[in-house]
Structure 1
């Protein structure tokens, strides 16, 4: 479970996130929407303990991001879409294993987990090849496996399907559904409205650092009278801009 209470983040004179309150339950998939610069990544970085809130509190499965950072990090797996961060000279297996070792996973369990993730993400053909020659989509799959290697209860994904082709994106969606069925809490940001509609129980929309909508898509459609998600999104932003 993720709990945010009046979370604010300021960088000198810039307020990137302003008084955001939100709860995400175990077994729930929440889609985080907003234009570039809306504060989505900053919010997720605070959840991951990379940034410290200026004000407010974030609690991850009962642990405070301010005071219990080590415990929080054990609970979460996080992927930022533009930051794959793999070691090109290592194979896909070695990259995943390295991060698994950082989490203290026993060798036998780690080997089994790598095989499980390789099968789920269909990486068997290149698991033992160096990642330096991989396509963007192949690297993204390895990065997703690295994020999930310690079987985290909270999964934070910022633009996770960046670089994935249609087939790989379909595999990713199946993985999200599998994690949801296992009771994991999942937050992901995306500009692909089709993904949001297929995967999310609720959505949260940010604009200029503020949370301007939180709820289900049927409720959002009822509020604005549109069925097209792109049009709905633009309507929410237009209304928020008038305030």
Structure 2
């Protein structure tokens, strides 16, 4: 544990402010060291290891957020002792809030968690436009749609939208199922489907296949076209490659 002779001169009364000096607790208890501003010739005063006040804490549960080194924090001391508690962090002239959130409309509709590397969770309580945004590597603009990856939940319309600037991949070790009333898949270029064994396309009524140019059906060794009637089933029609007789 880090120690220093300045510890005995800590301002152990009321509320103080300081900067996080170290956040690697040697005992793994999520404590931090803080240095206090001082006019002393010996330099800033250094705290003992400080416990962090959390909205929730307990055995195998709670909210764990350790301030980064250099963060300005507010410290309180219990019953005039040298046991400090970190009450929270504050913005200042150097470290400001994520931009461009300024609450210009004075409605205070936005609640946000924004991490050091631009991951964010946003709650928007704007009346009629309520939504939740989750962004990874979000850009400088504070909107759910501005990140490289985002999920947008519109509670008023019960709509979930997903978007990314690159590619999306869904992988399941077993079964991937999609169930809905109407499904639509649109691709501006092409659509490709493949299966290692069997591909089934079933419809309760009609199946329409339409192409602007040509339709190709290939099977090895054959293609079967059956008239689906149970009363008088007809044999399959085998389509084979046409063999023209030699020219005379």
TM-score greater than 0.5 by the shorter chain:
no
Question: Highest CA radius of gyration, 1 or 2?
Answer: 2
TM-score (norm 1): 0.24
Bigger share in helix? 1
TM-score (norm 2): 0.24
